[in-house]
Amino acid sequence: MSTGQDLTGPDVVTVGEPLVQLSPPSGRRLQEAGTLDVHTAGAEMNVAVGLARLGHRCAFVGRVGADPFGARILDELRGAGVDVSAVRRDPVRPTGVYLKDHDRGTTSVYYYREGSAAAAMGPADLGSVAASPRWFHVTGITAALSASCAALLDDLLAARPGRARISFDVNHRPGLWPDARAGQVLLDLARRADLVFVGRDEAARLWGTDTADDVRRLLPEVPVLVVKDAAAAATSMRGRQVTTVASLPVPVVEAVGAGDAFAAGYLSATLAETDERTALRRGHLFAARALLSVADQVEPPPPDLLADAADRDDSWWGGAELLQHPYLRGRGLPVVGGRPESRRAVEPQEV
């Protein structure tokens, strides 16, 4: 892997497992559905697509099967403008799949990814990155896939001269490994990153913390820590600077993918070297749109909202003018009984 910064390289390289996601249309239960909608997903793919749609140069490192699902993933990454030259197609192992099941306002997630092509990734996969990016973006999901995947993250996050900066989203998936085993591994990885995203409830489950300050005490050396408190707020801690921006009150169709959208919005602002308030606002805007959709990947905020996020005062944020913007009005949502279907803002249950 190249270690010196190369200005001809991508802005961000994301590393992980891309997935095909199947879900019943219009929020129906799997048990009753006669058809399934097909989407592409995976936390790292969601971030890559979001950043590319915001105009950044992105590349993806991962593995898919030599099957139609793998081909679909590559087509959609290319279509979004993501460089897939470092994605390997496995002739034996399949592309990972997961299903969503909607039932009485909650979403359960069922994984079919054991033995997938991506589970065979290892440190050697990083050698396919031709030029060092400004940032790598990875998540704790990869560490749970296999021992070789965990070794990949360990190698990427190892201290070395000229290492590209690394964004790490804790993204604990209880359906992949238990809290007791995941907690220490994810804490060790987070401590070596340059930017860490973690949910307050996620940190409480893994590390027994209650507040953003508690998380900071566990990660004192991380240059930038962002703690997301679901529907309440997100707080960034950059050195001694602490910035908190309230979440936007939007009706929740589904929470899956909102964290990835937030990371893409925040990283985009970081690449543009904005102030922290603007970065958190961009994250919230993108996440709010994801909450209004059953798809894991959504269109980014339009230019007028991105400009307003930087320029407008606190009375605009969360006010009627912003909340009436078409981007936050649920355009294109599935319609149930003549109204966009709303769900409770809960974490998806992963099985």
203 near 189, Cβ under 8 Å? no
**% of residues, the chain, pLDDT over 70:** 90
Least confident range from 1-10, 129-138, 178-187, 325-334: namely 1-10
pLDDT of residue 338: 29
Determine whether 178 is exposed, middle or buried from the number of CB atoms within 10 Å of its CB (0-12, 13-18, 19+): exposed
For tokens 């004192």, the residue is 220
For 4-29, b where at least 16 C-beta lie within 10 A, e where not — what string?
eeeeebbbbbbbbbbbbbbbbeebbe
Is there a contact between 233 and 244 (Cβ–Cβ < 8 Å)?
yes
Distance CA 63, CA 16 (A): 8
Burial (Cβ within 10 Å: 0-12, 13-18, ≥19) of residue 288: buried
Band of pLDDT at residue 175, cut at 50, 70 and 90: confident
Options 260, 311, 313, 314, the catalytic residue: 260
260 as an active site residue: the answer is yes
Q: What letter does residue 85 receive in the DSSP assignment?
A: T
Band the pLDDT of 211: cuts 50, 70, 90. Answer: very high
Distance CA 189, CA 37 (A): 35
Closest of 282, 323, 283, 321 to residue 303, by C-alpha: 282
HSE value, Cβ hemisphere, 13 Å, CA-based, for 139: 25
Res. 1: pLDDT tops 90 = no
Query: What DSSP character marks residue 7?
Result: T
pTM of the entire structure?
0.90
| 74-115 pLDDT tens trace | 999 999 999 999 999 999 999 999 998 877 777 888 999 999
- Whether residue 147 is predicted with pLDDT greater than 70 in this model: the reply is yes
CATH of 12-350, one of 3.40.50.300, 3.30.479.30, 3.40.1190.20, 3.30.360.10: 3.40.1190.20
Spell out the domain ranges in the chain: 12-350
Q: How many residues does the chain have?
A: 351
Residue 348 has pLDDT above 50, yes or no: no
**201 φ, ψ to 5°?**
-65, -35
How far from chain centre, in Å, is Cα 286?
Answer: 11
Confidence band, pLDDT 50/70/90 cuts, at residue 344: very low
Residue 99: its H or E element: strand 96-103
Assigned token pair, 68: 């139609």
